[in-house]
């Protein structure tokens, strides 16, 4: 697959991540992670920037309106008026930050941490419940990245980037916990490192390839059946909307590329699953 690629924004993010389509507001949201900003691209093409802290790692819409955001050492709640409520810090170590996350079908928000030095074993995945309580659901992670749930809701797809794998895990919906983790795909390092993921309506897995200038699509059986390339080195996250593949990108390690940090899209003729919202 080699569709034409369109650049749809200027390079507005230094390190763009966590791109999602907010169906209710007909807007894209994503983060400029290391600047601590949430970006919104509305239907008119205007971009709004909201500063939430030293780091803005990942986000999802709230059912009641607004957003839930993973910040450097915990979570924040943003209401419809743009008021930001920072929840209690989950740890004090300045060498650890949040990285990527998503909501389960029950409306709980999960986000995994990582060390700034990217050392294996320092990451932990937290679950934020609608009552704003938190729990640890996974430990010993390296770069906790793409996370989403298959359409049936009984399994989740997960990327811990340094493993070079896309994994599938059983999911206990009542307890909000994972089990029976297994490898779906092992990715050759010459293709880049797996980063953010999204699913299409057939549960196909689309994964952004950090350092690989591409998004790969894998079937439920782990077969690579599409590669879409982009004119930037570091593709970080992806979303499927109305037959188009949209991606965020980073300029962090690609600062000589004048297009790095922009959003791009490519026509792939495939639709994505709706983004699950936070119930709190």
The string of DSSP codes covering 72-123 is: TTEEEEE-TT--EEEPPPS---TTEEEEEEEE-TTS-EEEEEEETT--TT-E
Domain 10-194 indexed as CATH 1.10.287.3510 = no
What global pTM score does this model have? 0.97
DSSP state of 3: -
pLDDT at position 159: 98
Nearest-Å Rg of the Cα atoms of the chain is 17
Tell me which residue has tokens 């709190």.
280
Instruction: Answer yes or no: are the C-beta atoms of 114 and 141 closer than 8 Å.
Output: yes
Token pair, residue 154, equals 């009984």
Q: Residues near 109 by Cβ (< 8 Å), separated by ≥ 6?
A: 60, 68, 70, 75, 101, 102, 103, 127, 128, 278, 280
Block means of pLDDT (10 residues each) for the chain, length 280 residues?
91 98 96 98 95 98 97 97 97 98 98 97 98 98 97 97 98 98 97 98 98 98 97 98 98 96 98 97
- Domains of the chain, residue spans: 10-194
pLDDT at position 2: 79
pLDDT at position 69: 98
Gap between the Cα atoms of 186 and 194, Å rounded: 10
With 0-12 / 13-18 / 19 or more C-beta atoms within 10 angstroms meaning exposed / middle / buried, residue 156 is buried
pLDDT at position 166: 98
Instruction: Answer yes or no: are the C-beta atoms of 246 and 228 closer than 8 Å.
Output: no
Gap between the Cα atoms of 257 and 276, Å rounded: 33
pLDDT at position 263: 98
């Amino acid at each position: 697959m080699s569709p034409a690629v369109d650049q749809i924004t200027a390079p507005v993010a230094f390190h763009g991540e966590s791109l999602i389509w907010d169906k209710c507001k007909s807007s894209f949201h994503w983060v400029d992670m290391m600047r601590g900003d949430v970006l919104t691209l509305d239907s008119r093409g205007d971009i709004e920037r909201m500063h939430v802290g030293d780091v803005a790692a990942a986000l999802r819409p709230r059912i009641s309106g607004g957003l839930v955001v993973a910040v450097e050492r915990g979570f924040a709640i943003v209401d419809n008026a743009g008021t930001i409520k920072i929840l209690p810090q989950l740890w004090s170590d300045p060498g650890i930050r949040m990285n990527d996350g998503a909501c389960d079908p029950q409306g709980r928000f999960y986000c995994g941490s990582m060390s700034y030095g990217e050392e294996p074993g320092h990451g932990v995945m937290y679950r934020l419940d609608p009552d704003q309580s938190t729990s640890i659901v996974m430990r010993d992670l390296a770069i906790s990245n793409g996370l989403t749930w298959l359409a049936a809701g009984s399994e989740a797809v997960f990327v811990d980037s340094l493993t070079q794998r896309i994994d599938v895990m059983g999911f206990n919906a009542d307890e909000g916990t994972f089990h029976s983790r297994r490898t779906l795909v092992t990715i050759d390092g010459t293709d880049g490192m797996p980063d953010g993921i999204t699913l299409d309506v057939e549960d196909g897995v689309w994964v952004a390839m950090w350092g690989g200038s591409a998004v790969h699509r894998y079937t439920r059986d782990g077969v690579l059946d599409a590669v879409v390339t982009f004119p930037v080195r570091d593709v970080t996250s992806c979303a499927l909307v109305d037959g188009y593949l949209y991606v965020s990108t980073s300029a962090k390690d690609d600062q000589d590329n004048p297009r790095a940090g922009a959003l791009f899209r490519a026509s792939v003729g495939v639709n994505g699953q709706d983004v699950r919202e936070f119930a709190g």
